[in-house]
């Protein structure tokens, strides 16, 4: 019984993991596409990637993937709080990456509000948001890479299962 539970759990974990990775990949691509660099550096010349230099397209896609990220993040957090808290423990690298994602969501949402017609953030604050959003994603990508290479997990089981499971 335990075995079945654990298998479905780890299956689900990898689904969450791959969905998260795909979302982050597209967010990073469309996000970096907000800077005028893909055309300059021939990325948009790669067949099939012409769209990355079209600002309105990448902007719209960034919003779409941001919505997916918010759904996934809030789901994982709620699931942790309601269901998994007793069973798993978030690692330090998990907390760090989590904080970076939440920072990205907060600065991103503020930038979405900035883009509405009636917004009136002070110019200095907008520069801060732009730079913070960019800075956070750079750190998150580096942290993510470090964790993948060193096989660091977001969370681990609080109680070790018996050997062989």
Partner 1 sequence: MAKEISRRSFLKGGLAAACTLAATSMPEWASAANNKQQLVTLLDIRKCIGCEACVEACSEANTDKYPNPKKPFPKMYPDRVPVMDWSDKRDVTDRLTPYNWVYIQSATVEVDGEETEITIPRRCMHCINPPCVKLCPWGAARQLSNGTSRIDSDICMGGSKCKAVCPWHIPERQTGVGLYLDILPSLAGNGVMYKCDRCYNQIADGELPACIEVCPEDVQTIGPRDEIIKQAHALAKEINGYIYGEKENGGTNTIYVSPVPFEKLNKAIEKGKGKPHFKPVKDTMADANNLAAAMVFAPVAGVAAAVGKFYKMTKTDE
The residues that touch partner 1, with contacts defined as CB under 8 A, are 34-37, 40-42, 55-56, 59-60, 63-64, 66-68, 70-79, 82-83, 109, 112-117, 120, 123, 126-127, 129-131, 134
**Per the structure block, which two tokens stand in for 36?**
């005028």
In the complex, minimum distance from the CB of residue 87 to partner 1, in angstroms, rounded to a whole number: 12
How far apart CA 82 and CA 87 sit, in angstroms, is 11
Report the length, in residues, of the chain: 165
DSSP 8-state code for residue 84: I
Q: Smallest gap, in angstroms, from Cβ of residue 25 to partner 1?
A: 19
Residue 51 vs 55, nearer CB to partner 1: 55
Which residues are registered as beta bridge partners of 117?
none
Residue nearer to partner 1 on the CB measure, 38 or 140: 38
By beta-carbon proximity to partner 1, the closer residue of 49 and 152 is 49
Residue 139 tokens read as 């750190």
- Least distance in Å: CB of 151 to partner 1? 27
Residue in the block written with tokens 């982050």: 24
**CB closer to partner 1 out of 134 and 147:** 134
147 contacts 97 by C-beta, under 8 angstroms: yes
Q: Shortest approach of partner 1 to residue 97 CB, angstroms?
A: 18
Q: Which is nearer to partner 1, 120 or 164 (CB)?
A: 120
Q: Are 73 and 105 in contact (CB under 8 A)?
A: yes
Q: What is the DSSP string of 65-109?
A: HHHHHHHHHHHHHHHIIIIITTTEEE-HHHHHHHHHHHHHHHHHH
CB 164 to partner 1: min, Å? 26
């Amino acid at each position: 019984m335990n075995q079945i539970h654990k298998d479905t759990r780890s299956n689900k974990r990898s689904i969450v993991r791959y969905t998260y990775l795909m979302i982050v990949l597209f967010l990073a691509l469309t996000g970096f596409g907000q800077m005028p660099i893909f055309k300059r550096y021939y990325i948009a010349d790669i067949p099939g990637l012409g769209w990355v230099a079209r600002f309105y397209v990448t902007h719209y896609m960034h919003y779409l993937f941001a919505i997916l990220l918010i759904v996934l993040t809030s789901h994982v957090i709620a699931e942790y709080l309601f269901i998994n808290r007793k069973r798993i423990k978030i690692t330090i690298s998990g907390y760090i990456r989590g904080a970076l994602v939440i920072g990205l969501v907060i600065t991103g949402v503020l930038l979405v509000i900035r883009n509405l017609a009636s917004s009136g953030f002070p110019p200095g604050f907008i520069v801060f948001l732009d730079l913070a959003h960019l800075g956070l994603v750079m750190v998150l990508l580096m942290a993510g890479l470090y964790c993948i290479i060193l096989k660091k997990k977001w969370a681990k089981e609080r109680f070790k299962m018996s050997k062989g499971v």
